[in-house]
Amino acid sequence: MAVQLTTSYGTALYKGDCVCQVTAGTYEQHTPGSGIDGVCWAFLRSDGMMASYVPASDTTYTYKAIINVAQDALYVVQEDGDSTALALTDMGNNCNLVYTHAGNTATGVSKMELNSDSKSASTTTLDCHLYGLADWTEPDGSATTFGTLANAKYLVKIHYMKGGNLSAGV
């Protein structure tokens, strides 16, 4: 689905960032725990050219984002690894996202992460539902394992999708 992004929006947007519709009818980066309308896959500038990302406060172009709105889509998202790593017992819980790091301007890929400190089995308004560890090998050849590697990759589904059903974790 193509959506209009807020003109001269003060935050850069990257492929993989979650967005939500704001009062003006345009879309901006979502605020964790506030509901998600979709996940950015591509960007189109007002001159018809594709963009790898949307720079913050760009006044040269207006942008549309192609977003995935499928409620059953699964994503691989990295954990933030800031204090306590997620464990096998956390799977089935819900968890918020966090935008601690700016995305990569060369690749256009988001650096949004799972906020491992927000995990909860009972909070229904958290962004993602944790399914399990993603089948992932790090560049150094080490495998991702539960609770032993900060910034491990997890398989998640958007849980707090606007217009969707909310439920507690297990």
Same domain, 81 and 60: no
| Cβ-contact 14, 82 below 8 angstroms | no
Same domain, 86 and 153: yes
Same domain, 85 and 62: no
> Is the residue at 166 inside a domain?
no
DSSP lists the bridge partners of residue 75 as 156
Taking alpha carbons only, the member of 124, 139, 104, 146 closest to residue 17 is: 104
- Check whether 170 has a pLDDT greater than 60: no
Same domain, 14 and 89: no
Would the pTM of this model clear 0.85, i.e. be above it? yes
Using CA atoms, how far apart are residues 130 and 91, in angstroms rounded to an integer? 5
3 state SS of 102: coil
pLDDT at residue 135, as a whole number: 80
Same domain, 82 and 62: no
> Is the residue at 170 inside a domain?
no
Q: Band of the pLDDT at 140, cuts 50, 70, 90? A: confident
> Is the residue at 39 inside a domain?
yes
Same domain, 81 and 110: yes
Q: How many domains does the chain have?
A: 2
The last residue of a domain, from among 21, 39, 68: 68
| Cβ-contact 76, 133 below 8 angstroms | no
The residue range of the domain holding 146 is: 74-158
- Quick: pLDDT tens for 75-128: 999 999 887 788 888 999 999 999 989 999 999 999 999 999 999 988 889 999
> Is the residue at 17 inside a domain?
yes
Choice between 118 and 140, residue whose per-residue pLDDT is larger: 118
Helices (H) and strands (E) in the chain, counts: 0, 13
> Is the residue at 50 inside a domain?
yes
Same domain, 80 and 130: yes
| Cβ-contact 44, 62 below 8 angstroms | no
> Is the residue at 6 inside a domain?
yes
Determine if residue 16 is left, alpha or beta; phi over 0 gives left, psi from -120 to 50 gives alpha, anything else beta. left
Same domain, 79 and 60: no
- Check whether 11 has a pLDDT greater than 80: yes
The last residue of a domain, from among 33, 51, 68: 68
Determine if residue 135 is left, alpha or beta; phi over 0 gives left, psi from -120 to 50 gives alpha, anything else beta. beta
> Is the residue at 163 inside a domain?
no
Same domain, 45 and 92: no
Structure tokens at 124: 């229904």
> Is the residue at 167 inside a domain?
no
In one letter, which amino acid is 8? Answer: S
Same domain, 62 and 81: no
